[in-house]
Amino acid sequence: MIKTKMNELLGVKHPIIQAGMGPFCNNMLSIAAANAGVLGLMSTSGLHESTRTDQFKIYEHWARTVGADPRESKKDILMKAFQQANERTKATGGIFGINVMVSGMMMEHAELAVQTAIEAREQDPSLKDRFKVVFTSAGDPIPWAKPLKDAGFTWLHVIPSVKGALRCQKAGVDLIVASGHEGGFHTSWEPVHSMVLLPAVVEALKESGTPVAGAGGFCDGKSLVAALALGAAGVQMGTRFLATEESDFAPMWKQGIVEAGDRGTLVARGFVGPARWIKTDTSKVHQKNTLEYTPELFLDSPGPLTEGAMKLMEYERVAINAVYDGDKDKAMMAGGECAQRISDLPKVADMVNDIMKEAEAVIKNMPSLLK
């Protein structure tokens, strides 16, 4: 069995993180992942006010999966999510957490999510056994050090650069996730891929001893072993977990991953910058319009929020709503480059077991590849 610093730090059986893929609901997926022995992450951005007003079906789906009425307060909905996950992971001892976007535009919502998580564990101490992780993303980690450390959470943060990793080290993050440009949906402005980014971050943090996980392109045992060889303590997988039986994502979305095929993704505008989409006629139009309206996106620059940029974001909003409406002609589905290597929709537990078996077999076979 493969054991790393990640296993010990998080209390998981396998060194894998199931990505918290917001703003979409993955409440059921996170429970299945936790029960399969990996870290299961719930996304929280699906309860943001902008989702409630502009993408209500996503907001409603998030609430309904935890037995809540979408008219309830966001705090009450989150409380029910934590309680449900706690109850449904009790038998296996599965470890779960939340992903919280901490960018400036998400600050109020992030504070609500973190404070609710803290209160939930104070009200029910049994939550501390398995609701162990807060995973922050898309913002500066420094302001979150004191509240998360004081509350006793294990703290993870995702970054796209060595500079970001050093910022996390300064903040005292417990485990840093280095996310390469292969990843799905929100991706970094600079196209630095995992083969370069991951070892660079590991080397930069060598003296601190802070463990690093790789993200972006990891989807099976082979790629897990590759991450370990580059010095990582484990990996985060998003697209691979999206395409599973228990995944909360819309059936059209999951099928889009399975059908992506060779060279099956492209990068175009997203709500918070560059986004990686499954290549379809609709997303190709979106990419073409991105080049016309916001060419700076391909020049590693956010650029101004112009009328053209607003049109692109409206196009994205309509396209994602179309996924949940079942309108294939208007739909766009995000996904990582590894979508071209995914061809099935397995049960989460079976998939995790297969990944670990393959990883062990690859390690065992490694000497035979050397002369």
pLDDT in tens, the chain (371 residues): 899 999 999 999 999 999 999 788 899 999 999 999 999 999 998 888 888 887 888 889 899 999 999 999 999 999 999 999 999 999 999 999 999 988 877 788 889 999 999 999 999 998 999 999 999 988 899 999 999 999 999 999 999 999 999 999 999 999 999 999 999 998 888 889 999 999 999 999 999 999 999 999 999 999 999 999 999 999 999 999 999 999 999 999 999 999 999 999 999 998 878 999 999 999 999 999 999 999 988 887 777 788 888 899 899 999 999 998 899 999 999 999 999 999 999 999 999 999 999 999 999 999 998 87
Q: 365 and 260 in one domain?
A: no
C-alpha to C-alpha distance for 42 and 184, rounded to whole angstroms: 17
Q: Find the angle CA(77)-CA(78)-CA(80) to the nearest 5 degrees.
A: 65
Q: 269 and 237 in one domain?
A: no
Q: 57 and 35 in one domain?
A: yes
Q: 284 and 226 in one domain?
A: no
Q: 276 and 166 in one domain?
A: no
C-alpha to C-alpha distance for 286 and 130, rounded to whole angstroms: 41
The count of other CB atoms within 10 Å of the CB of residue 161 is 18
Q: 298 and 202 in one domain?
A: no
Q: 316 and 202 in one domain?
A: no
In a domain, 338, yes or no: no
Query: Total structural domains in the chain?
Result: 2
Q: 275 and 211 in one domain?
A: no
Q: 82 and 205 in one domain?
A: yes
Could you tell me if 170 and 55 are in contact, meaning their C-beta atoms sit under 8 angstroms apart? no
85: domain range?
5-247+345-369
In a domain, 339, yes or no: no
Q: 258 and 243 in one domain?
A: no
The count of other CB atoms within 10 Å of the CB of residue 121 is 20
Q: 198 and 124 in one domain?
A: yes
The structure's pTM equals 0.94
The count of other CB atoms within 10 Å of the CB of residue 351 is 25
Residue type, 175: L
CATH number of the CATH domain containing 204: 3.20.20.70
